[in-house]
Structure 1
């Protein structure tokens, strides 16, 4: 007996999974009139893994963490979240290569943890992206204020129209946009690292600070310290780090539309370590060296206030003219890249939920070009919420909407790790060998335990700093606390709702009843899938393969 996608128990050989079963093999196709397009190539998958996460969280939000926690806390916090993501993406890679199914990690939650938990995570993830889109569009409009003040409504309309146009090209349009914007962001980060090293060594003629070194890590006379605000300052870094890394898991969601997940997914997951190290840790280390953490300019570094971006401030403090505007343009591009990811993450998740019977049926319809039409329409409609900011009370409403997404990334990442742990238990209970897996997590199941542990620690740290904010009184105000932690009760409410709706009184799918075959791809039947890698490659090609 095994659990089907809906949690029903059927004999292994009694019937084949129906086309509407959650988690069908999108690679081999079904009897449905249309299915998601497999238009994502390896280079697209590479850029989705990195491009979907580099945005305002890194370029702008890191400034508030620098000011509240100091450069050392900022670095440690991002390293911890980076290790968590490394373990999470490795676990996701193992599952997504074996099961390149529509819905990815939400499906894994249904199949290996509990259908109600999968339902809760799926809808929380979809809602999170739905609400993030208007925020990112607004943020993109606000970045224009760096040059000249215009009515933000004009830019909201321009950017939303641009996203609508991209949707007409389906998944290939999404992949190409991410590929181009991802390259721009990578070049910008690498350029900043080189620039920052020169500044720190006193190599900029117009910078009268001379050699800086680690001056701002131990300059108590001017209020610059490696650790600011003690333990609370350290805990305050986690939520900003999670926001900065958000979207890294999209590479697993994209597996259903990858031309060859067996090759592209392992490459994407294996290189996450180098990307986290190079593009986050190193850039933040350099930024923390050349930007004084006591600077009052950092107090407003949130949202899309690029005038308070620590990366832009680093260039301005060095006295280099023209370059701050260039980097502000990069931030605008980065924000639009995240907005593009929003449209992908929400629409594919909603379509998968509906296809599995966990959402309105009309959302599951896919047109002949492989586009989930109604989820796209709903996502674009949510983009109109960006105009709420034009109202007097718009910011209050918008902040509460954003609060719904506050901790959703932690819940999703924790679910991926737990799904992998449970999957390994079910795989072992079925008497199957790890050698049968086409790709194994490089950190193994213990990496998933570590990732899950770090998720719990991060949630506890966030709860602590929300309950006892920096410079605030105990409890810090009910409104502020619930804005920071409202995602938790919503996840519980969704879980309970599905339990009541399905009248399911059980908890956790039993390991010996797990469905280990629906949606599983037989890679031995795919021509060219096991072609050996070239043994001799030029240095240029090795660099290219490392990036793409």
Structure 2
């Protein structure tokens, strides 16, 4: 027999209301917490439309439009679809877990804070700094990539000129604080989404032989037979995962943005559910189209990487169809996408470092928030890293940036793994303190099982990447290749051990009984669970769980 109040018709009745009153008495609301040492709170100016666009298109960038070409060349079209699909499922589970915690605790630092509270401060320190360093080093890389896209039209202008132009643009965006970030992401995400939809329609027309001048006629799945659906066997398949992680990376920024959202209890559930659409259409369908209209043995794909935008499989597919003018349009979309990711770099690193500083895990002055709600010193640090973009003119620029990007290669897998682990531990702590699931304003659709699935897939992806790092595709074991692919792992381990020793934090994990589950809740979040649920058709309820 179910315990009273846990299920049944009284879920929204007296018993729940009584338990809500008890929870409300235990809660320390975010607006009641005293700022640490006079640190101002971040401004809450992001609207629902900003949050949804950050979720749908915030990380669609060079990873999808360019990096996927290298994955197609190494693994083949079927390996790309399966690899991106696996990472997509992993991300879907992760975002559900993050959404549940972020709606209840829309706190500064989001997942970094959850890892510290529900898993271990040492792991939070390690993951937080790795995440911040990743965004710091990705910014100059994106500035160079954006400059290279301009060479599609003009190769007579110095790269340093365009690095300066884009860096000035990012500086101007950050003058307007979080609202500037939100508005820019909204506009750029709309452009990227329209481009993806347009390419899907274009690809269907190409595949069915509807392009005048394209003598291939009906293509179907011709290229899945020759050169083949899979290339380089199992090792080729395993090589797809890092590319997929880089392409999907940034989705978790929705969790960071929760602290600056006007109504997270309304905006975040909608944004979280948008992840399904993004994975299904803007990644999987786009890559399916690319894989059927562009042969994976196209030699131009060999150099496809985030910085070599000339090897974009999307642009190459358009050129293969013989359509003039359209490659130029899509190159402009890639330029917009790269700038969007560069904008996200500044947001992701600055908010994470500011959160680290408020917990004493970074130099104290980084905790400062000015009167306009900007973590100004963190923003200055990120923009200063952008100056490394001028290294693109150096003779050894490729080697330098390969090692810089090695710091972020596996970052997203570790972040997503930690989010799932934090959600599993949070549920244990929530239960240990006597609270029930019906008291949560938003529940992960797949529950703890989904987090275990996400955690397991992260571990499998890390193992697959380790395999291809030790035994690289087309080569023998090489220390330089291994560390260029797997450097983030020893970095996280070093940070974890450093904080253990520095803080004398000898506990392996935070016990459920010792967890803080009642502070940082935004006023109105727990009260939302008392609102009567509208009766809907079960089919509609199932669909809305995803859409």
* TM-score normalised by the chain length of structure 1: 0.90
How far did residue 35 of structure 1 move?
1.6
Match of 1:106 in 2: 112
Matched, 1:367 2:370: yes
Matched, 1:329 2:332: yes
Matched, 1:132 2:173: no
After the TM superposition, which residues 434-449 of structure 1 pair with which residues of structure 2 at under 5 Å, given as runs?
A: 434-449=437-452
Contact map agreement 2:104 2:525 (CA 8 A) in 1 = no
Match of 1:207 in 2: 214
After the TM superposition, which residues 30-429 of structure 1 pair with which residues of structure 2 at under 5 Å, given as runs?
A: 30-31=34-35, 32=38, 34-149=40-155, 150-219=157-226, 224-429=227-432
Distance 1:389 1:297 in 2: 22
SS in 2 for 1:519: strand
Contact map agreement 1:262 1:529 (CA 8 A) in 2 = no
Contact map agreement 1:91 1:441 (CA 8 A) in 2 = yes
More helix per residue: 2
Contact map agreement 1:25 1:101 (CA 8 A) in 2 = no
How far did residue 531 of structure 1 move?
9.8
Distance 2:431 2:399 in 1: 50
* Cα RMSD, aligned residues only: 2.2
Gaps of 5+ in 2: 1-22, 537-545
Contact map agreement 2:83 2:241 (CA 8 A) in 1 = yes
Contact map agreement 2:441 2:525 (CA 8 A) in 1 = no
Distance 1:111 1:284 in 2: 38
Match of 1:483 in 2: 484
Contact map agreement 2:439 2:526 (CA 8 A) in 1 = no
Distance 2:473 2:492 in 1: 27
Match of 1:4 in 2: none
Distance 2:168 2:112 in 1: 30
**Greater mean alpha carbon deviation, residues 80-89 or residues 28-37:** 28-37
Distance 2:57 2:528 in 1: 30
The CA deviation string for residues 18-57 of structure 1, in whole angstroms up to 9 with x for no partner, is xxxxxx9655664546320101000000111122210000
Contact map agreement 1:51 1:182 (CA 8 A) in 2 = yes
Contact map agreement 1:25 1:99 (CA 8 A) in 2 = no
Gaps of 5+ in 1: 1-12, 18-23, 536-545
Distance 1:524 1:97 in 2: 7
Contact map agreement 1:192 1:283 (CA 8 A) in 2 = yes
After the TM superposition, which residues 455-474 of structure 1 pair with which residues of structure 2 at under 5 Å, given as runs?
A: 455-473=458-476
Distance 1:465 1:113 in 2: 30
How far did residue 102 of structure 1 move?
0.3
Aligned length: 513
SS in 2 for 1:202: coil
Distance 2:483 2:149 in 1: 28
1:501–1:151 CA distance, 2 compared to 1 (3 A): same
Distance 2:475 2:332 in 1: 36
Distance 1:204 1:525 in 2: 55
Distance 2:535 2:316 in 1: 45
Distance 1:169 1:335 in 2: 20
Distance 1:511 1:528 in 2: 23
Distance 1:268 1:101 in 2: 17
Contact map agreement 1:56 1:244 (CA 8 A) in 2 = yes
How far did residue 312 of structure 1 move?
0.3
Distance 1:523 1:261 in 2: 10
How far did residue 393 of structure 1 move?
2.6
